[in-house]
């Protein structure tokens, strides 16, 4: 076994013949975003979500996907729903380079009401760099780059549903002028997968660490990649927070600090990179189609501080 508790995935070193490869595995679910998919009758996106989320988790340890398995549990078997989910799964597996090798579909009417379902995924990948990304290479002075998210991704949806549907009384088909789309179009945006953009710099050893910004936001996920004695300072003004987050904050009266502890706030992945390499990597990621920002730096200490106007040392 390689790694420790608290990582985004679990590692296992193969000691077979001349192989010294490390397999990295992860399991996850889509959460209550599924309830919005049910309300909208749109299931393909959540199929994509579960693959992308799992792939990003193992990517943080320098692994790219080999294969994926899914688990779908329903109150009543509905072929059209399952087929739609599978279309999303297949598309995402192609995008991240994973083989969809199997899964399980369970009909459990005593647990799920008709129309309800749960979705989970299991992924296994292989490390591609010379060393597993475990944060040990991160040093004080390293720059932190942020890669843009595609909205909410798959976290914070219990709060989102309460604000949008209970407090505001909105319907999934309502057009929200400030979003420029309907409720379902915004809230069901698919989770970004960063495998294609980060594969090359990971392989070349240009990245010191990665943090997938999921539940708990930047505050809880950035420290997961940092070694002992290192903290992080991030400038929350270094990128434009997407409108959806500010709308939810205003509608729900959510304190600023809680927003940053709950949502990704527009950053789906944080990359720790040597100071001298950051500008070149920013250009490389932009060329690969990412919206990337220089957002902060690694400092002595621990945890994460948000500091508006922070000047990243060069």
Encoded tokens for 115? 């129309």
pLDDT of residue 297: 98
Rounded average pLDDT over 95-102: 97
Query: At 19, is the pLDDT very low, low, confident or very high (cuts 50, 70, 90)?
Result: low
Q: Which among 172, 175, 177 has a CA at the least distance from the CA of 187? A: 172
What pLDDT score was predicted for residue 205? Answer: 93
Confidence of residue 136 (pLDDT cuts 50, 70, 90): very high
Rounded distance, CA 143 to CA 294, Å? 7
**pLDDT tens string 235-269:** 999 999 999 999 999 999 999 999 999 999 999 99
CATH fit for domain 143-306, picks 1.20.1740.10, 3.90.650.10, 1.10.3300.10, 3.40.190.10: 3.90.650.10
The residues, ordered by sequence, that sit 6+ positions from 142 with a Cβ below 8 Å of its Cβ are 208, 209, 272, 273, 274, 275, 297, 298
Q: What is the mean pLDDT of the chain?
A: 95
Please tell me the pTM assigned to this model. Answer: 0.95
Structure tokens at 160: 């989102």
Q: What is the pLDDT of residue 244?
A: 98
Delimit the CATH 3.90.650.10 region(s) of the chain: 143-306
- What pLDDT does residue 8 have? 83
Query: What is the reported pLDDT for 294?
Result: 97
163 phi/psi in degrees, rounded to 5 = -70, -50
Within the chain, all domains assigned CATH 3.30.1330.10 are found at 10-127
Task: List, in sequence order, the alpha helices (H) in 41-107.
Answer: 44-59, 79-96
Q: Does position 1 have pLDDT exceeding 80, yes or no?
A: no
For 216, residues 6+ apart whose C-beta sits below 8 A from its C-beta are 261, 262
Q: How many angstroms separate the CA atoms of 47 and 92, rounded? A: 8
Residue 149 scores a pLDDT above 90: yes
Strand ranges in 137-260 using DSSP code E only, listed in sequence order: 143-148, 175-176, 181-182, 209-212, 230-234
Instruction: Tell whether domain 10-127 is in CATH 3.30.1330.10.
Output: yes
pLDDT at 71: 97
């Amino acid at each position: 076994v390689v790694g420790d508790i608290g990582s985004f995935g679990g590692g296992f070193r193969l000691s077979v013949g001349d192989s010294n490869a490390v397999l990295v595995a992860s399991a996850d679910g889509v959460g209550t975003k599924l309830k919005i998919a049910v309300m909208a009758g749109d299931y393909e996106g959540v199929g994509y979500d579960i693959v992308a989320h799992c792939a990003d988790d193992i990517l943080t340890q320098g692994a790219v996907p080999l294969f994926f398995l899914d688990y779908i549990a329903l109150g009543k078997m509905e072929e059209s729903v399952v087929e739609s989910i599978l279309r999303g799964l297949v598309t995402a597996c192609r995008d991240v380079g994973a083989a969809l090798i199997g899964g399980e579909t369970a009909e459990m009417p005593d647990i799920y009401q008709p129309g309800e379902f749960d979705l989970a995924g299991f992924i296994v990948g292989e490390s591609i760099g010379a060393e597993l990304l475990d944060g040990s290479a991160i040093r004080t002075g390293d720059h932190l780059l942020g890669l843009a998210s595609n909205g909410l991704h798959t976290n914070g949806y219990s709060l989102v549903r309460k604000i949008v549907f209970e407090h505001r009384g909105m319907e999934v088909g309502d057009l929200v002028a400030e979003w420029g789309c309907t409720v379902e179009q915004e809230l069901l945006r698919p989770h970004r997968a960063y495998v294609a953009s980060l594969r090359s710099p990971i392989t070349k050893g240009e990245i010191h660490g990665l943090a997938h910004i999921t539940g708990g936001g930047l505050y809880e996920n950035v420290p997961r990649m940092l070694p002992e004695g290192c903290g992080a300072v991030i400038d929350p003004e270094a990128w434009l927070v997407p409108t959806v987050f500010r709308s939810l904050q205003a509608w729900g009266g959510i304190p600023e600090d809680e927003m940053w502890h709950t949502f990704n706030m527009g950053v789906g992945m944080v990359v720790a990179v040597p100071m001298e390499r950051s500008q070149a990597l920013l250009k490389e990621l932009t060329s690969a189609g990412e919206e990337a920002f220089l957002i902060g730096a690694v400092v002595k200490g621990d945890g994460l501080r948000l500091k508006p106007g922070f000047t990243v040392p060069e």
